[in-house]
Amino acid sequence: MAKLITLVKKDWFRRGMGAFFTALVAYMAAAAPLFAQRRDSVVEVKLASIIPDNTDWSRALDRLAKEWYNASNGQVVVSVYHGGQLGSAEKDILRKLKGNTIQAAVFTSAGLSLIAPETLTLSAPFFIRNDNELNYVLNAVKDDLENKINKDYFMLAWAKSGWLKIFSRNPVRVPADLKPQIIGSLNEIPVMNAAFKSMGFQIQMADFNSIIISLNSGKIDAVYQTPAYAAPAQIFGIAKNMMDLNIAPIMGGVVINQQTWKRINDAYKPRLLAIVKEIEREFDGAVSKLESEAIQVMSKNGLNVIPLTPAQEQTWYNEIGSKIPALANDKIFNRSLYNKISSLLQDYRK
């Protein structure tokens, strides 16, 4: 009897395990397309950034990558390449973005202008004068600008990159003080160059690497640059005077190509965009902090910050005010956007 029971149990076990494995194989066969589909649905995003690593900006981008991964249940994997690892020339980065070699990038206003030239109107000199005006204008016009950008790309976040200031060998308070000095200007900002030339200033073209060399050799006497760049580049070591007046805001942004954006599951996008907006606020806070700290450090190391009287400030506004409208010719500044911003600023200043 015991032997019979043992045989029955063995037979039952064999038949039971056989049924189990049969069912398992059937399940795996049915589920295989689902697993394959899940693997295929992962969207990999290479994000190119010219921002150096180990900065507030780079850390914000790293956090974006982590939070997008979590918010999408691992279906959106962002790899951030800091410090120009995937290229430092924005036209080359844009070409890679268009060809989908990379899927997203951080651009300055110069890079954004290659996608939508209208964006440069935001950086017309002595036009928008402070952060409050910039926020007011940007809130009113960014939908128009994003409609231009979003034809082939998708604007994830705007990033304020600081305010251009004049750093000069000799003190500058009014336009007449700057006109005898030769200004070194970057090729990447032709709009600024055209505007300053229209005011009668002497412009010498330069690039990032030759600015200090040109200052040392005496080829140039002044530059317009953001404090956040002037400090690490040691521009203030020679151009020891900084006129305390905002020339123009430098805008930037994080852009993803439409090919990649469309691949992301629509169910995840509201949360992904909410994360981006938080990163956008971090960018704003980071640049304000960075500029303030840069000016403090430079001041402790020999920079002369030159405050202006209201009358001296108005001299600059009058000087450029008589020139800029002629530059709103759709070749340098977009006429329609310039007129819209002018109207917005008039209302705001009232």
Tell me the average pLDDT of the chain.
85
pLDDT, average across residues 240-261? 94
For 255, residues 6+ apart whose C-beta sits below 8 A from its C-beta are 97, 104, 105, 106, 107, 112, 115, 149, 153, 154, 155, 156
297 CB-near residues (< 8 Å, 6+ apart)? 231
Q: Is 84 exposed, middle or buried (0-12, 13-18, 19+ CB in 10 A)?
A: middle
Give percent of the chain with pLDDT exceeding 90.
54
What DSSP line would sit under 82-109, residue for residue? -TTTT-S-HHHHHHHHHTTSSSEEEEEH
Say how far apart CA 239 and CA 223 lie, in whole Å: 8
Quick: pLDDT tens for 332-345.
788 899 999 999 99
Task: Give tens-digit pLDDT for 11-31.
Answer: 444 454 454 444 444 444 444
- For residues 264-268, average pLDDT: 96
Report CA dihedral (94, 143, 324, 168) to the nearest 10 degrees. -60
pLDDT top residue among 35 and 161:
161
- What pLDDT does 159 receive? 86
Rg (CA), the chain: 28
Q: How many CA atoms lie within 13 A of 280 on its CB side?
A: 17
pLDDT band, very low/low/confident/very high, at 187 (cuts 50, 70, 90): low
- Residue 331 scores a pLDDT above 60: yes
The CA-based angle 146-149-154, given to 5 degrees, is 85
Rounded alpha-carbon distances, angstroms, from residue 60 to 23, 50, 63, 159, 308:
48, 14, 5, 12, 35
Helix or strand holding residue 228 (H, E): helix 227-230
- What's residue 20's pLDDT? 41
Q: How confident is the model at residue 55 (pLDDT cuts 50, 70, 90)?
A: confident
Token pair for 174: 């009014």
Q: pTM for the full model?
A: 0.81
Residue type, 260: T
